[in-house]
Structure 1
Amino acid sequence: MIIAITALKGGVGKTTTAVHLAAYLQQKDQTLLIDADRNRSALIWAREEKLPFYVASQAGSTALIRKYPHIVVDTRAMPELDEFRDLAEGSDLLIIPTTPNHLDLDATLKAADQLAPSRLTTKFC
């Protein structure tokens, strides 16, 4: 299963969501977290703490993907529209974290609107 974590706005907890989701999935089976964000926050986190799953850069993940039943991708913030749709279509699940302030919620609703033409099923929770 490939789960992508993305957002149209920075500072909404994307990396934190990815790391905690990967930790949960690791309890079920082997999990790979791919850090595709420019900040490399997940890789830094993995260097500072012993995480129960493997973290790889986007460039270093190609050879590893087939070895892991669970893959969590911490994407870059604010992807271009085409990249955003590719993420949605290429993932089994796309998670868009948000915070309860109006700017973050507005960005999340815009993200959902951008997915509407692709006929993907969207759910809010």
Structure 2
Amino acid sequence: MNTPEWLKPGIYGAVIGAAFVGVVGFSWGGWMTGGGANKMASEMAHDEVILAMVPVCLDMARVDPNRTTHLNAIREASSFKRRDAVMAAGWATMPGADSPNRDLAQACIEGLNLDAS
């Protein structure tokens, strides 16, 4: 097929314009791929579940008969070992789970306000 000479600049402009719009859209326009959106949604859901479980962790800490022993162990642990101490106390195990959750343990430490007591 013979393309008229006057049509070629329009075709080139459309191709270059489409590429430009794609680059600008993904760079500055906030566009994302389906995989990126799924990853973002998964991370947000995980964070919200952890946030929702913090009161459960704090309640488990409140009703634990060995609360003072566990709190002293957590206070005496270095800052990067406190999470392991909360996990060892069993407060960071979600109901129905077999093992403690590290992110929940970290959020529970912040909720315990260990520096204030």
Q: TM-score range by the shorter chain?
A: under 0.3
Higher-helix-fraction structure: 2
Bigger Cα Rg: 2
